[in-house]
Structure 1
Amino acid sequence: MKKIIVSLVLVASVLTGCKSEKKEKLAVKEVVEFEATTLEKYNVDTEASVLNWKGTKPLGAHDGVVSLKSGSLIIEEDELIDGEFVIDMNSIVNVDMKGSAGAGKIEAHLKSADFFDVATYPTSKFVITDVEESEDGKLDVTGNLTIKDVTKSITIPATISTEGGVTTFESKTFNVNRTDYNVKYKSKSFFDNLKDKFIDDIMEISFVVKTKA
């Protein structure tokens, strides 16, 4: 298949909860080497594009969004050729408590060094290295995901469609283990005696990226 590059800034979650043991961890592998191609820069509509997040812990869940900073999406003959998405980690928003003081606290904590340390790492990145069509006609997209100072190769489910001159790249919800990326705050994998005060290692992510018309 034709190679794709998609960069995303990937985001956050004060992880709230349900039983982490029941969530399927997304397999991570070593970084995949790939040959980048020239991109048409900044054709993504950042106002219409969003990355969604959800995190869990024993007593509940929080969810929210993160805005795109910039991006490109290249389509030829109805096939995705290249792409580059950048998400602004400083734009983390908590949706389920939006407008409350609690939402502000969650957002500030996610941006702090306990979680994504956005002062040091203002963006995250997902560079797609390969795409395969699955049996149901959807895409299995493999790429190098960078969060903070760690890069791992993962594969996520996605679809791509074009209507009215606008191309939409949309993923199903996929799981990422935050501890793979040095986000270890209140993780049972690293700290003992947390009782019910732990935060789930798994964060749920999905995204919708649209081009300008």
Structure 2
Amino acid sequence: MKNFKTIAIALLVAIGSFSATAQEKKVDVKTSKINWVGKKVTGQHEGTIDLKSGVLIFKNNKLVGGNFTVDMNSISTTDLKAGQGKEKLDGHLKADDFFGTEKYPTAKLVFKSIGKKSDNVYSVTADMTIKDVTNSIKFDITVNKNNATAALVIDRTKYGIKFKSKNFFEGLGDNVIYDDFDLAVDLKF
């Protein structure tokens, strides 16, 4: 009888451990999308940037973690066409004035804490690293089956990207580029 109780307890502990094990869901970098929008006084530009890798971590079907690496060399403007300034803007975004992709080819996002807001919505605090500078950011992420979406607002000046920022340069007039840029993230896994 004593052996039966020991086996039963061991079995329950094993089952409990199995159900509480974290499950990593690898992000499909080919079908996932990141769209960006950068605004200036006289308008805005938009484009895409590719994920290099990413994973969302679930425990008991609840989001508990995640980390992502972005290929900064993939940054591309979509509101301009070839021959109409696209190459120039794409090149400038990759230059040292902005993301310096030759020296900093990737950016990283690592979830640090997650709180559940509603059935499918989580509040995330994460570390964002751009140009080897790391800052904490907060955003909401919505998870539905094998898809997750999030909208992030990033202050570029916190990562040393000060080009035409009115907070660092005077007399720019309508050449000001706003400090915040927006990311719309659509993850497939």
Q: TM-score, normalised by structure 2?
A: 0.82
Tell me the alpha carbon deviations over residues 110-165 of structure 1, each in whole angstroms, 9 at most, x when there is no partner. 00001000011101111101111226852111111111121111110111121xxx
Larger strand share, 1 or 2: 2
- Pick closer, same or farther for the CA change 1:96–1:78 going to 2, 3 Å: same
Query: Does 1:120 pair with 2:98?
Result: no
CA contact (8 A) 2:36 2:48 kept: yes
Alpha-carbon offset, residue 103 of structure 1? 1.3
CA contact 2:50–2:70 (8 Å) conserved in 1: yes
In structure 1, the residue matched to 2:53 is: 70
1:72 CA drift (Å): 2.0
Which of 174, 181, 194 aligns to 2:172? It is 194
1:54 to 27, 37, 59: 37
> Residue 184 in 1 paired to residue 167 in 2?
no
Give yes or no for the alignment of 1:134 onto 2:120.
Answer: no
RMSD: 2.1
**Is there any run of 5+ residues in structure 2 with no aligned partner, and where?**
1-20
Q: Which has the higher contact order (CA 8 A, sep 6+)?
A: 1
Secondary structure, aligned partner of 1:92: strand
* 1:169 counterpart residue number: 148
Are the equivalent residues in 2 in contact too, given 1:39–1:72 (CA < 8 A)? no
Checking the alignment, whether the CA contact within 8 Å between 1:39 and 1:82 is kept in structure 2 is no
Alignment TM-score, normalising by the size of structure 1: 0.73
Unaligned 5+ runs, structure 1:
1-36
Structure 2 partner of 1:43: 26
CA distance in 1, matches of 2:118, 2:60: 21
Q: Measured at CA, do residues 123 and 38 of structure 1 come closer, stay the same or move farther in structure 2, by a change above 3 Å?
A: farther
Alignment: residue pair count: 169
- What secondary structure sits across from 1:110 in the alignment? helix
- Show the 5 A alignment for 1:8-157: 40=24, 43-134=26-117, 138-157=121-140
Tell me the equivalent position of 1:158: 141
